[in-house]
Chain A
Amino acid sequence: MTPLHFEKLYSAEWDELEAQLLRIMEGREKQRRGLEPVRGERVAELYRRACEHLALARARNYPRYLLDRLDRITADAHQVIYQHREYGLLRIKRAFLYGFPRAVRAHARYVWTSAALFFIPMLLVGWLVYERPDLILSVTSAEQAAGYEEMYSKAAESTRIRDAQTDWFAFGFYIRNNIGISFQCFAAGIVFGIGSMFFLVFNGVMIGAVAGYLTERGLSETFYSFVVTHGAFELTAIVLSGAAGLRLGQALVAPGRRTRIQSLTQAARETTVIIYGFVVMLLIAAAIEAFWSSARWIPLTIKYGVAALCWIGVLGYLTFQGRREN
């Protein structure tokens, strides 16, 4: 059969498939305008035919333009027929009812390692700086230290009450800063886990140093009442981002029976839901930090009460949510 004969014989089918695909890809608006709906089984049938034709055309070395056309049609149809639809509220609901806490528990080893890398330097440096306040100068500059002190000083309490405008500024800043840091902490894990370790220890040291310094200065009341509520979400989220990063690193260091790239892909698939989870936690943290933590008119007892609820809520959610069968 010559190429032209072949084309003449089957091009009607290809045209039909192309038209149907175009309609599917153009979306639903056009279907409402009285056009008859796309018939799925017909598309599948035409697609299978086109696959046969492509195989034949390749085996017979038909000219490039024919192969290209069949290539394009089959590739488009393949995309339309086999695509996953991962959107939808149901999926999001499932991720937060079961997927996220289960994934965290399934990676408990990484979560504990990450928590240790974050909290141990934090407590250690916090204690050191509390004992010898001048050590703060080895992690921040003198101006920054003075800035922290001023931020949480009792005098600031009465004079500087943030207005709504600054709250919104703070919200934007926390989102950009904190979520950015946790993304870096995750992504850097691909460097055999070393990157995540670095970010965890680094952030732990910084937070510990500032906390120790302010505690020594006698500002613990303003400082802890400020950080303790959103800390429930923020500190946990940083630990989780580090854990996800460590999982990537582990996949490269010890791929088991897979190739390193297969193992990396698998690790990324497992940790995606953890990423969704910690992003949401950081959004909550940013909102709390901007609009609740900074509100100084709220009595301390209420603040600590809410903080306790947040911590119990977050840890309880991660520990117990989704344990039963769906």
Chain B
Amino acid sequence: MLDSVVSAETPEGILLEMRPAGMSARFCAFVIDWLIRLAILYGAAFIAGILGGLGVGFWLILFFVLDWFYPVVFELRRGGATPGKKAMGLKVVMDNGLPVTPAAAITRNLLRFADFLPFLYGAAIVSMLVRADGKRLGDLTAATVVVHQPRPAPKATLDMVTPIAPVRPLSQRDQSAVIALAARAPTLTLERLDELALLAASVQGEAREPQEQVTRRVLGVAQWLLGRRS
């Protein structure tokens, strides 16, 4: 399967679907976080320089905390994401879809060191590329997964199209295909929409009709299937 959805079953017997993040999104998130940390350390170094030994002492502690605990703190907050992950629309959850526990957040971020081996996150890259769920060693050990925040799908509201009844009974698969096409219509170019509508032409009318007509009718059927009647 090309689809990389992982699902977790809840006690209510439904499957929560989660879309694991791939390497590129996670890399961008990492770079953003890295820049933020760098900026903080630079700013702090300025102040530390003024304060002398005491300042440098605190700067070293800050360095240590940012190095190991920056992700832990952010991942334990409500969003479950560092600023970088948030910017990329990612978040960290447990395998069962629950928010990350403190123990898991610490484990996955301490193992960052092992992921870094042998150099430049080599182990993490291999692990993420090999596994369908894109986990690095820290995720494997802590039973966590980095997922895309779900983005709401466009609602099919093509109100100007008049609903038309299909000429023959449609299977559920066909119904959902037609509805999905209507939902995607606003994001497609007209030519592509026509092309796709042609494939579904048999639900209403003839393929011989002019393109526009076919498309209009297929979208009409979608409205009818959604439950609109006039």
With both beta carbons as reference points, the residue of chain B lying nearest to A1 in the complex is identified as B227
Q: Is the CB of A51 within 8 A of B57?
A: no
A87 touches B (CB below 8 Å): yes
> How far apart sit A83 and B94, CA to CA, in the bound complex (Å)?
10
B128 touches A (CB below 8 Å): no
| B180 proximity list for chain A (CB < 8 A) | 63-64
Q: Is the CB of B172 within 8 A of A187?
A: no
| B176 proximity list for chain A (CB < 8 A) | 61-63
> How far apart sit A172 and B117, CA to CA, in the bound complex (Å)?
26
With both beta carbons as reference points, the residue of chain A lying nearest to B173 in the complex is identified as A61
- Which of B21-29, B107-115, B211-219 makes up part of the contact surface? B107-115
B179 touches A (CB below 8 Å): yes
Q: Is the CB of A173 within 8 A of B60?
A: yes
B16 touches A (CB below 8 Å): yes
| B78 proximity list for chain A (CB < 8 A) | 25
| A189 proximity list for chain B (CB < 8 A) | 114
Taking a contact as CB atoms closer than 8 A, the residue among B68, B141, B150, B226 that contacts A265 in the complex is B141
| A79 proximity list for chain B (CB < 8 A) | 93, 97-99
Q: Is the CB of A172 within 8 A of B68?
A: no
With both beta carbons as reference points, the residue of chain A lying nearest to B142 in the complex is identified as A268
| B225 proximity list for chain A (CB < 8 A) | 2-3
Q: Is the CB of A2 within 8 A of B153?
A: no
- Which of B35-43, B48-56, B190-198 makes up part of the contact surface? B48-56
With both beta carbons as reference points, the residue of chain A lying nearest to B61 in the complex is identified as A172
Given contacts A2-B225, A55-B13, A168-B53, contact A63 B156 (CB under 8 A): yes
> How far apart sit A82 and B94, CA to CA, in the bound complex (Å)?
12
Taking a contact as CB atoms closer than 8 A, the residue among A54, A72, A168, A187 that contacts B14 in the complex is A54
> Could you say which interface size class chain B belongs to?
35 or more
B56-90 to A contact mask, C-beta < 8 Å, 1/0: 11111101100110000000001000000000000
> How far apart sit A265 and B61, CA to CA, in the bound complex (Å)?
30
Q: Is the CB of B150 within 8 A of A173?
A: no
- Which of A153-161, A176-184, A211-219, A312-320 makes up part of the contact surface? A176-184
| A191 proximity list for chain B (CB < 8 A) | 114, 117
The number of A-B residue pairs with CB atoms under 8 Å apart is 163
| B165 proximity list for chain A (CB < 8 A) | none
B162 touches A (CB below 8 Å): no
A68 touches B (CB below 8 Å): yes
Q: Is the CB of A269 within 8 A of B103?
A: yes
| A101 proximity list for chain B (CB < 8 A) | none
A94 touches B (CB below 8 Å): no
With both beta carbons as reference points, the residue of chain B lying nearest to A179 in the complex is identified as B64
B183 touches A (CB below 8 Å): yes
B1-35 to A contact mask, C-beta < 8 Å, 1/0: 00000000011111011000000000000000000
| B156 proximity list for chain A (CB < 8 A) | 63, 65
Whole-angstrom distance from the CB of A74 to the nearest CB of chain B?
6
> How far apart sit A64 and B183, CA to CA, in the bound complex (Å)?
8
A254-290 to B contact mask, C-beta < 8 Å, 1/0: 0000000100110111001001000000000000000
| B10 proximity list for chain A (CB < 8 A) | 51, 74, 78, 82
> How far apart sit A68 and B149, CA to CA, in the bound complex (Å)?
12
Residues of chain A touching chain B, judged by Cβ–Cβ distance below 8 Å, are 2-6, 25, 47-48, 51, 54-55, 60-65, 68-69, 71-72, 74-75, 78-79, 82-84, 86-87, 163-173, 175-176, 179-180, 183-184, 186-191, 195, 248, 261, 264-265, 267-269, 272, 275
Residues of chain B touching chain A, judged by Cβ–Cβ distance below 8 Å, are 10-14, 16-17, 52-54, 56-61, 63-64, 67-68, 78, 93, 97-99, 101-103, 106-107, 110-114, 117, 137, 140-143, 150, 152-156, 172-173, 175-176, 179-180, 183, 225-228
Of all A-B residue pairs in the complex, the 6 with the closest CB atoms, nearest first, are A2-B227, A165-B53, A172-B60, A4-B227, A172-B57, A168-B57
